[in-house]
């Protein structure tokens, strides 16, 4: 890998990284929002809601993201009649997929909190939602942070799959550079380094946040 | 103050409470004793609907709490509860544990709630722990804080669910002292406990439960010195 190569093609990598970050960021945001709803549905006492959420989670987890992506890519514009851009298809597919995993992480986190906590909250006259908001979720959030961070890292890496529908993300652009430079190896190597820098920073960031949140209740 | 009529509770096939009738009046300290599995805790937890009775009626201060149309959250403000496992909120400081419900449920201003909290902390001798977190405290201290947390809502009745059962023996005394003081101030209390000494000394009335029924009730002297029911005799012979 020489400087001439980099100075010639660096724009491809920068643009690709931008798209990958953009896609991952929105994937995470929508994934968490949808995931929270799915988790609440799955924990609902009404079996109608919990069954829908369970079925959704099982289907998403039981089928490859690649298949889901193509189904949405071809199916969604057909069913709705709306000409979605490729990028929005990518975001939709990634967030719908991530939501299922996030939902399971959140559900496990909430259920890991001792039920005495909610009982204590209710015994003080709090409503169920107040107990959730003030007592359960803040404690659950601390517990699920590592798993959630891990899910975000997975999402950044898995987002490379959207290159197959022609989104110009980091993976796609690395492939493009391979084609026009006649170098089969170097672009992949650079892409790998960039992916690693993103995920490594992300995991450090989550670590810092985790330590900060734990500051309150250490000193046992 | 609390009127319980024909209260039944089933967990699936298991019939835990088999028709409880009881009247608890203002200022009483009712101590519920009995072997484990007799339904003592379930009865207590039915009083503030942490368990929903299968049938029967509970009337608290003239309001039928078993009637779904009545707002149970409003009623729970008037019924403090202390748990065996303390159930303090580990992510909140001692002070926040005590002020959380007054601020969020009763909409009391923060400084006002803290004033009340410090008064309670003085009373239980833990003012210096206000900014500690629960897991920095001993079991006895945790349970005293839990009592203060319940008292901060200024309830009309306090429910105690085996408050000393999870404590190391040397810490039982400090918690019982707080409870005795509370009884001395005229607080209405319903206490499920294995502390027979407390029942004798502080109880105004003792209920002995076995297999989902109140088998015998009376003053502490009657129950402890002259039990009539053979099952009460048998139980007391084992624990005293």
Provide DSSP, A155-213: HHHHGGGGGGGT---HHHHHHHHHHHH--SSHHHHHHHHHHHHHHHHHHHHHHHHHHHH
Distance CA B139, CA A60 (A): 46
In percent, the amount of chain A with pLDDT more than 90 equals: 84
Q: How many CB pairs below 8 Å do chains A and B form together?
A: 72
- Tens digit of each residue's pLDDT (9 = 90 or more) over A165-211: 999 999 999 999 999 999 889 999 999 999 999 999 999 999 998 88
What integer pLDDT is reported at residue A219 of this predicted model?
A: 44
The mean pLDDT of chain A is 92
Q: Which residues, in sequence order, are bridge partners of residue B209?
A: B214
What integer pLDDT is reported at residue B158 of this predicted model?
A: 97
Tell which wins on pLDDT, A216 or A189: A189
Q: Which domain holds residue A153?
A: 3-218
What integer pLDDT is reported at residue B87 of this predicted model?
A: 97
Give the A window 73-102 contacts with B, CB below 8 Å. Answer: none
Cite the beta strand spans of B39-144 per DSSP E.
55-60, 63-64, 79-82
Provide DSSP, A147-171: HHHHHHHHHHHHGGGGGGGT---HH
Nearest to B124 by CA among B147, B94, B150, B95: B147
Strands B2-11 and B55-60, how do they pair? antiparallel
Mean pLDDT across the stretch A75-86? 93
Give the B window 41-80 contacts with A, CB below 8 Å. Answer: 48, 50, 73-74, 76-77, 79-80
Nearest CB partner across the interface for A125, out of B88, B133, B153: B153
What integer pLDDT is reported at residue A4 of this predicted model?
A: 82
A220 chain-B contacts, CB cut-off 8 A: 135-136
Q: Angle A3-43/A170-181 helices, nearest 10 degrees?
A: 150
What integer pLDDT is reported at residue B115 of this predicted model?
A: 96
Confidence of residue A215 (pLDDT cuts 50, 70, 90): low
What integer pLDDT is reported at residue A1 of this predicted model?
A: 56
Q: What CATH number corresponds to the domain at position A93?
A: 1.10.3720.10
ipTM: 0.92
Is the predicted pLDDT of residue A220 greater than 50, yes or no? no
A118 chain-B contacts, CB cut-off 8 A: none
Q: Is B87 within 8 Å of A125 when comparing Cβ atoms? A: no
The secondary element (H helix, E strand) that includes residue A76 is helix A65-80
Tell me the pTM: 0.83
List of domains in chain B: 2-41+50-237 (3.40.50.300)
Mean pLDDT across the stretch A57-80? 95
Distance CA B217, CA B205 (A): 7
Give first-to-last CA distance, chain B, whole Å. Answer: 32
- For chain A, what is the domain count? 1
Q: Is B83 within 8 Å of A119 when comparing Cβ atoms? A: yes
Six-digit token string for A206: 């989550």
Q: What share of chain A is helix, strand, coil (3-state, %, to 5)?
A: 85, 0, 15
Query: What are the pLDDT tens digits along chain B (240 aa)?
Result: 999 999 999 999 999 999 999 999 999 999 999 999 899 999 999 999 999 999 999 999 999 999 988 999 999 999 999 999 999 999 999 999 999 999 999 999 999 999 999 999 999 999 999 999 999 999 999 999 999 999 999 999 999 999 999 999 999 999 999 999 999 999 999 999 999 999 999 999 999 999 999 999 999 999 999 999 999 999 999 887
Nearest to B146 by CA among B121, B128, B113, B127: B121
**C-alpha torsion B143→B149→B150→B155, nearest 10:** 140
Q: Is A2 on the interface with B (CB under 8 A)?
A: no
Distance CA B233, CA B227 (A): 6
- Tens digit of each residue's pLDDT (9 = 90 or more) over B25-78: 999 999 999 999 899 999 999 999 999 999 999 999 999 999 988 999 999 999
- Tens digit of each residue's pLDDT (9 = 90 or more) over A114-164: 999 999 999 999 999 999 999 999 999 888 999 999 999 999 999 999 999
Distance CA B240, CA B233 (A): 10
CA atoms within 13 A on the CB side of A167: 31
């Amino acid at each position: 890998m020489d400087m001439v190569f980099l100075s010639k093609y660096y724009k491809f990598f920068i643009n690709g990284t931008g798209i990958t970050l953009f896609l991952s960021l929105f994937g995470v945001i929508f994934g968490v929002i949808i995931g929270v709803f799915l988790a609440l549905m799955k924990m609902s006492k009404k079996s109608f809601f919990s069954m829908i959420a369970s079925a959704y989670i099982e289907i998403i987890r039981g089928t490859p993201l690649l298949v889901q992506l193509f189904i949405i890519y071809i199916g969604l514009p057909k069913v709705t009649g709306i000409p979605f851009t490729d990028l929005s298809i990518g975001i939709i597919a990634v967030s719908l997929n991530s939501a299922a995993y996030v939902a399971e992480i959140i559900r496990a986190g909430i259920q890991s909190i001792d039920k005495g906590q909610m009982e204590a909250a209710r015994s003080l006259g709090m409503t169920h939602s107040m107990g959730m908001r003030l007592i359960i979720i803040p404690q659950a959030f601390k517990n699920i942070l590592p798993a959630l961070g891990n899910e975000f890292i997975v999402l950044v890496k898995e987002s490379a799959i959207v290159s197959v529908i022609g989104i110009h993300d980091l993976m796609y652009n690395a492939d493009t550079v391979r084609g026009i430079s006649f170098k089969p190896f170097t672009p992949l190597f650079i892409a790998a380094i960039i992916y690693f820098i993103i995920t490594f920073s992300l995991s450090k960031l989550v670590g810092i946040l985790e330590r900060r949140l734990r500051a309150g209740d250490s000193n046992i | 103050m609390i009127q319980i009529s024909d209260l039944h509770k089933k967990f699936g096939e298991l019939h835990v409470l088999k028709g409880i009738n009881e009247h608890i009046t203002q200022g009483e300290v009712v101590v519920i004793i009995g072997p484990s599995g007799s339904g003592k805790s379930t009865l207590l937890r039915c009083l503030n609907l942490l368990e929903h009775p299968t049938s029967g009626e509970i009337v608290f201060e003239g309001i039928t709490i078993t009637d779904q149309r009545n707002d149970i959250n409003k009623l729970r403000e008037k019924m403090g509860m202390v748990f065996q496992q303390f159930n303090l909120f580990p992510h909140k400081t001692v002070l926040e544990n005590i002020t959380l419900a007054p601020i969020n449920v009763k909409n009391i201003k923060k400084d006002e709630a803290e004033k009340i909290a410090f008064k309670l902390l003085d009373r239980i001798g833990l003012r210096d722990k206000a900014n500690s977190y629960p897991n920095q405290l001993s079991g006895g201290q945790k349970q005293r804080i839990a009592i203060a947390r319940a008292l901060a809502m200024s309830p009309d009745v306090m429910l105690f669910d085996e408050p000393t059962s999870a404590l190391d023996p040397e810490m039982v005394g400090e918690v019982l002292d707080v409870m005795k003081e509370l009884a001395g101030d005229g607080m209405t209390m319903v206490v499920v406990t294995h502390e027979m000494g407390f029942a004798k000394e502080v109880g105004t009335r003792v209920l002995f439960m076995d297999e989902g029924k109140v088998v015998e009730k009376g003053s502490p002297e009657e129950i402890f010195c002259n039990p009539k029911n053979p099952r009460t005799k048998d139980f007391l012979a084992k624990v005293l």
